[in-house]
Amino acid sequence: MEIFKDIFYVGVHDDKIDLFEGQFVVPEGICYNSYVILDEKVAVFDTVDANFFEKWSKNLDGVLNGRRPDYLIVQHMEPDHSANIDKFMQKYENAKIVSDPKSFTMMKQYFGNGYEDRKIEVKDGDKLSLGKHELTFISAPMVHWPEVIMTYDSASKILFSADGFGKFGTFEPTDDWACEARRYYFGIVGKYGAQVQKVLQKASTLDIQAICPLHGPVLKENLGYYINLYDIWSSYKVESEGVAIFYTSVYGNTKKAVFELQAELEKLGAKKVVCCDLAREDMHEAIEDAFRYGKIVLATTTYNGEIFPFMKTFIDALVERAYQNRKIGLIENGSWAPVANKYMMKMFEKSKNIEFCENNVTVRAALNAESLEQIKNLAKEILA
């Protein structure tokens, strides 16, 4: 379909996938976006997942209407976007590949072919004219692979943003863009906030009227909203006011403590309190909420002298994504030797600007008057 003058969408939607990248639940599937600019020269932006070559090729043939591509612009070498490079190059024997030098090294690894006689290496700021459309390439290393480039078309004022501004789900616009875009961002890109900030600085010098990502819908209106969210996410700022409580519970007593805390927080006027059972809810939804809110509480049992496995996995996921600038309260449960709070604090040793509450809670098997009083004190401190 034509999405802008001379610019066509030829991507595909994968509604059969069970786990994206082998870990992310995608109830609405995932789309692999590919675009074509028809000008004096024809440029194709990225390929699609290996399972969809025939469908993508048919979409491409329909748009080309007998024309032959001059360029394949490879912005990202992850296989969901690059898997069909070799088939494309065999089909269109005169086309050239335009990409970052690192991409050609990866092509050699994937396909046994670096396309030495057909490659055009580009670096930050390099340009390519298609006729009316002049493309400028923007280096975006580690957003979220080292070879990533983005492309700005000065004629249409479109930023082709690689995996940036992507989301899970379909190509069709939805009202809840932020939810699945946030889960996508913190699941996949989150560690590389500093690199995203550098790209946002480059983008701020451009007149951008639309953003075409490699996953999710084209963003055409209210771009300030999307860019502001990316600025918040990549600088690890607080997006929403409220408290998020993440817990594991073996026999229900830690869970009771969590809901006592929730009730106390709500009584004290907390704007929003979110509770998540890490053993039963989607881990990546939990990660998303941990970055969304500025105040969190972690509640778990002492387990094998450490902490319950789901909590350990959760904290590891936060730390490896550069979790920072947050206030954390702790609740531990231990019948004879509670050490969970101490262990959780230690796990955040390398995290920046983490403030731990002083009034943390220790439950010895079951709630009693002492631990209930600790919960009240923690609620007051977390909201202070």
- pLDDT of 235: 97
For residues 210 and 244, membership in a common domain is answered with: no
Q: Which residues contact 293 (CB under 8 A, 6 or more apart)?
A: 238, 239, 240, 241, 242, 243, 244, 272, 274
For residues 297 and 208, membership in a common domain is answered with: no
For residues 71 and 146, membership in a common domain is answered with: yes
CATH number for position 124: 3.60.15.10
For residues 175 and 269, membership in a common domain is answered with: no
For residues 192 and 251, membership in a common domain is answered with: no
For residues 211 and 248, membership in a common domain is answered with: no
Q: Which of 171, 199, 234 is the last residue of a domain?
A: 234
**Which tens digits make up the pLDDT trace of 184-219?**
999 999 999 999 999 999 999 999 999 999 999 999
Angle at CA 42, nearest 5°, toward 38 and 47?
A: 105
Which domain does 86 fall in, by range? 2-234
For residues 221 and 287, membership in a common domain is answered with: no
Confidence of residue 70 (pLDDT cuts 50, 70, 90): very high
* Number of domains within the chain: 2
**Which tens digits make up the pLDDT trace of 250-273?**
999 999 999 999 999 999 999 999
Confidence of residue 175 (pLDDT cuts 50, 70, 90): confident
Q: Which residues contact 112 (CB under 8 A, 6 or more apart)?
A: none
- pLDDT of 268: 97
**Which tens digits make up the pLDDT trace of 281-334?**
999 999 999 999 999 999 999 999 999 999 999 999 999 999 999 999 999 999
Cis preceding linkage at 144, omega within 30: yes
For residues 244 and 230, membership in a common domain is answered with: no
Interatomic CA distance for residues 188 and 200, integer angstroms: 17
- pLDDT of 174: 82
- pLDDT of 91: 97
Confidence of residue 143 (pLDDT cuts 50, 70, 90): very high
Q: Which of 172, 207, 234 is the last residue of a domain?
A: 234
Q: Which of 183, 212, 234 is the last residue of a domain?
A: 234
For residues 147 and 247, membership in a common domain is answered with: no
Query: Which residue has 């109830």 as its token pair?
Result: 27
Query: Which residue has 């004096």 as its token pair?
Result: 40
Enumerate the H helices of 30-149 as residue ranges. 53-64, 79-82, 85-91, 101-111
Q: Are strands 30-32 and 12-14 parallel, antiparallel or unpaired?
A: antiparallel
For residues 83 and 217, membership in a common domain is answered with: yes
To 10 degrees, the CA torsion angle through 254, 257, 259, 263?
Answer: -170
For residues 371 and 283, membership in a common domain is answered with: yes
For residues 210 and 307, membership in a common domain is answered with: no
- pLDDT of 96: 98
CATH number for position 245: 3.40.50.360
Q: What integer best gives the mean pLDDT of the chain?
A: 96
Confidence of residue 379 (pLDDT cuts 50, 70, 90): very high
